[in-house]
Amino acid sequence: MTRIHDMGGRFGDGPIPLKKIDGKVVDDEPVFKTDWHAKAFAITVASASVGKWSIDKSRFFRESLPPKDYAKFDYYEKWSSALINLLVERGLINKNDLIEITKKAKEDNLEVSQVTDEHQDVLKAKDVAITLGRGGPSARKVLHSPKFNVGQEVRTINYSPNKNTIGGHTRLPIYARGKKGKVILHHKGHVLPDASAHDLGDSPEHLYTVEFSSTELWGDKDGNQKDSICIDLWESYLI
Amino acid sequence: MSDKKNVEHNHDDHHHHHHDHSLLPEEPELRVKAIETLLLNKGIINSDTVNELIDTYENKIGPRNGAKVVAKAWVDPDYKKRLLENATKAIEELSYTGRQGEHMVVVENTPEVHNVVVCTLCSCYPWPVLGIPPTWYKSDEYRSRTVREPRKVLQEFGLELDLNTQIKVWDSTSEMRYLVLPMRPVGTEHLSENELESLVTRNSMIGTGLPEMPK
């Protein structure tokens, strides 16, 4: 799939939005710039305990926002909008809930009622540290031996790799399709995002880091002889 | 035929979910407040947990963690060796583990090679050692330009690299998370690990900056 999120190498974006004083970069941004950024972050992380979606699925929902919204929304607007879409898809909330809460919001009447039946999987405050500390490792055993070795030349396939879902989630950036590179790291087996994003299981594959020369990706004119780009790629993305 | 219909139906259904957010208020602050209220009322989230998560990333997990890893690697050659061989394990020695840092790789800057990390497809970033990414890291500008024109991007950060230095850009497309090990500034032989740690900036661990020079 080629959607607006797959933006590596595109033209037309301006300077990096940096805070500078007297021409020098100043790195003093607060962790969350506004309260609603902090809330959007926290409710998204917390909801995953009940929603039980994979990280790949949550990425897929963010990048599936209508392109006009994706381009316009700031980071946490993407997060909160994708969260709602995930919750509806999971059946944890429905459209009537959204219509009702919006009505209340517009009447300035957003009140938290007494919750009597918390979901059994709700993330409790006392479990936050251990849950974050554990994370969600994506390493999995793959029974067959790796098809490629470190040092080997490979080529990426020249089409979207998602076999099961047309236009589905994948992690082969379009700028690196059909390009020649060299395997520099082998990370053993990892969950395949193309499957996991669509609730099709882990389908683990060998994962590699492939190094591409800048000129291979951008051509002799735009590329730089010296530089390279290293991309993590699953075995089925490579030939 | 019926199968095909079914698939199409599912596709439409699925597609539709990606628009449900448009039923909510457009103004982002009010939208988030509406979602939060709804989820609290439904018992899907808990308000103490929301506060705990915010406090964790505002006060406990951030780039000072990464700075400790870097300073330790600068003073302890055995640790540096372990860090470059198996970053996840070596970082775990300092108790930094878990979410968005489950699988770590540390890449070392040398006089010949300068590393810089980006995520073109979203904004993957090593949370346990660097915390939540800054706005510029998540910007379209950084995501789109860094792979094509890293030297121009680094210039905007005030970083002019020698033309003979190779730039390696790491596009974080998987769950591997990359941390740059910057070069130890010259003239810091007399400094303690704690003093060195204070020279390690966030940007130096992403590759968009260098450590500070000792005063």
CATH class of A153-237: mainly beta
Q: What is the pLDDT of residue A165?
A: 84
Q: What would the pLDDT profile of B51-106 be if each residue is shown by its tens digit? A: 999 999 999 999 999 999 999 999 999 999 999 999 999 999 999 999 999 999 99
- Residue A97 is encoded by which pair of tokens? 């809930």
Structural domain of B10: 2-45
User: Among the options B22, B47, B95, B124, which is catalytic?
Assistant: B124
Q: What would the pLDDT profile of B111-144 be if each residue is shown by its tens digit? A: 999 999 999 999 999 999 999 999 999 999 999 9
Helix axes A35-51, B47-55, angle to 10 degrees: 120
pLDDT band at B4 (very low <50, low <70, confident <90, very high): very low
Number of domains into which chain B is organized: 2
The reply to whether B201 and B126 lie within a common domain is yes
The reply to whether B29 and B73 lie within a common domain is no
The reply to whether B41 and B67 lie within a common domain is no
Active site residue B204: no
- Residue B61 is encoded by which pair of tokens? 């997990």
Q: What is the DSSP string of chain A?
A: ---TT--TT-S---S----EETTEE-----SSSSHHHHHHHHHHHHHHHHH---HHHHHHHHHTS-HHHHHHS-HHHHHHHHHHHHHHHTTSS-HHHHHHHHHHHHTT---PPPP-S--TTPPPGGGHHHHHHH----B---SSPPSS-TT-EEEB-SS---SSSTT----S-GGGTT-EEEEEEEEEEE--HHHHTTTS----EEEEEEEEEHHHHHHHHHS-SS-EEEEEEEGGGB-
pLDDT band at B7 (very low <50, low <70, confident <90, very high): very low
B 18-37 near A (Cβ less than 8 A): 18-25, 28-37
The reply to whether B25 and B125 lie within a common domain is no
The reply to whether B26 and B125 lie within a common domain is no
Q: What would the pLDDT profile of A11-60 be if each residue is shown by its tens digit? A: 999 999 999 999 999 999 999 999 999 999 999 999 999 999 999 999 99
Residue A2 confidence (pLDDT) above 80: no
pTM of the model: 0.95
Active site residue B22: no
The reply to whether B24 and B103 lie within a common domain is no
Query: Does the domain formed by A31-134 have CATH 3.40.50.300?
Result: no
Q: What is the pLDDT of residue B208?
A: 98
Partners of B166 in the β-ladder: B113
User: Among the options B47, B122, B139, B144, which is catalytic?
Assistant: B122
Tell me the CATH number at B95.
3.90.330.10
Helix axes A35-51, B28-41, angle to 10 degrees: 40
**Does residue B188 belong to any structural domain of this protein?**
yes
Do you know the residue count of chain A? 239
Gap between the Cα atoms of A28 and B26, Å rounded = 29
Q: What is the pLDDT of residue A3?
A: 80
B 180-199 near A (Cβ less than 8 A): none
Q: Domain map of chain A by residue range?
A: 31-134, 153-237
Gap between the Cα atoms of A182 and A185, Å rounded = 9
The reply to whether B40 and B78 lie within a common domain is no
Active site residue B174: no
Nearest CA in chain A to B40: A112
Does the structure's ipTM exceed the value 0.95?
Answer: yes
Is A153-237 in the same CATH topology as A31-134? no
Cβ–Cβ contact B42 with A under 8 A: yes
